[in-house]
Amino acid sequence: MSVVTDGRGLVEIHNVHKSFHGVEVLKGIDLTVHPGEVVALLGPSGSGKSTLLRTINHLESVDAGSVTVDGEFIGYELRHGKLHELHEREILQRRTRVGIVFQNFHLFPHLTALENVTEAPVALKRLSKDNARELALGLLDRVGLSDKADAYPRQLSGGQQQRVAIARALALKPQVLLFDEPTSALDPELVGEVLDVIRDLAKLGTTLVIVTHEIGFAREVADRVVFLDQGRVIEQGTPQEVLERPRHARTREFLAKVL
């Protein structure tokens, strides 16, 4: 496995390849995300967006190439110039640098909103129960849910559940936060409240990588738009460049369908 990192990006993805059952779905991806940058990842269904996102916190391993966050490999360590997969416990520790929010919230159904947010910092022995509670109440307040701390996921709307999921992801103070179609499972009237929270994070300078079909939102919050098709980065640039003056036919086709 080749290892290349120049240390400039917070997230550096170099020549990443990934196959499932002999079918290559990532075909040599290069992507650098700088500290404080908001990157919107667009592309047709099946183009590899989720797989790429999942390699950033080692929910997927890579077959070739490398992924580093703040100069460190998330799932691997370098020994004698070669990458070796880390032990599960170490993977879990390093993974906390990268928060992820999924389309379908993935909250723990048997835990309250507050408990969903305190679970990881307590389980990883980062904070005492009292300190985790204090942090979680602050985060729930930040996503506009201080009155829902004791509610269970089933008692919350999809938009509220997704905001709890964002608070939960923030509880480990990740260096970068990944969103995989965070509003795709929501009724249209609930999309805005989740986008508002993400917009606030962007304003605060949080480093974000967002897979979304909300083109208007991408145009508004993203510093850079990256268009993926069939496992390759086809083009990238400012929202104006990619969304208003796309250079590639495949980007234009995609935009014509979603706009």
CB of 47 to Mg ion, least distance (A): 8
Count of CB atoms within 10 A of residue 5's CB? Answer: 17
Nearer to Mg ion, 50 or 66 (CB): 50
Among ligand ADP, Mg ion, none, residue 51 binds (CB under 5-8 Å by kind): ligand ADP
Among 12, 29, 50, 163, binds Mg ion (CB under 5 A): 50
CB of 62 to Mg ion, least distance (A): 17
Q: Which backbone phi and psi does 225 adopt, to 5 degrees?
A: -115, 130
Give all strands (DSSP E) within the chain, no chain letters. Answer: 11-20, 23-33, 38-42, 64-69, 72-73, 76-79, 82-85, 98-101, 176-180, 207-211, 224-229, 232-237
Which spans of this chain sit near ligand ADP (rule: CB under 6 A)? 20, 25, 43, 45-51
Q: Which backbone phi and psi does 66 adopt, to 5 degrees?
A: -145, 155
CB of 19 to ligand ADP, least distance (A): 9
Nearer to Mg ion, 76 or 102 (CB): 102
What own/partner pairs with CB < 8 Å and gap ≥ 24 does 17-23 have?
17/62, 17/63, 17/64, 17/65, 18/48, 18/51, 18/55, 18/60, 18/62, 18/63, 19/63
CB of 60 to Mg ion, least distance (A): 12
Q: Which stretch binds Mg ion (CB under 5 A): 24-32, 47-55, 185-193, 195-203?
A: 47-55
93 with 123: CB under 8 angstroms?
no
Among ligand ADP, Mg ion, none, residue 108 binds (CB under 5-8 Å by kind): none
Contacts to Mg ion from residues 173-192, by CB under 5 A: none
Among ligand ADP, Mg ion, none, residue 20 binds (CB under 5-8 Å by kind): ligand ADP
75 with 86: CB under 8 angstroms?
yes
Among Mg ion, ligand ADP, none, residue 174 binds (CB under 5-8 Å by kind): none
CB of 47 to ligand ADP, least distance (A): 4
Nearer to Mg ion, 59 or 78 (CB): 59
Cα–Cα distance measured from residue 36 to residue 197, given in angstroms and rounded to the nearest whole number? 16
| Interface residue list for Mg ion (CB under 5 A) | 49-50
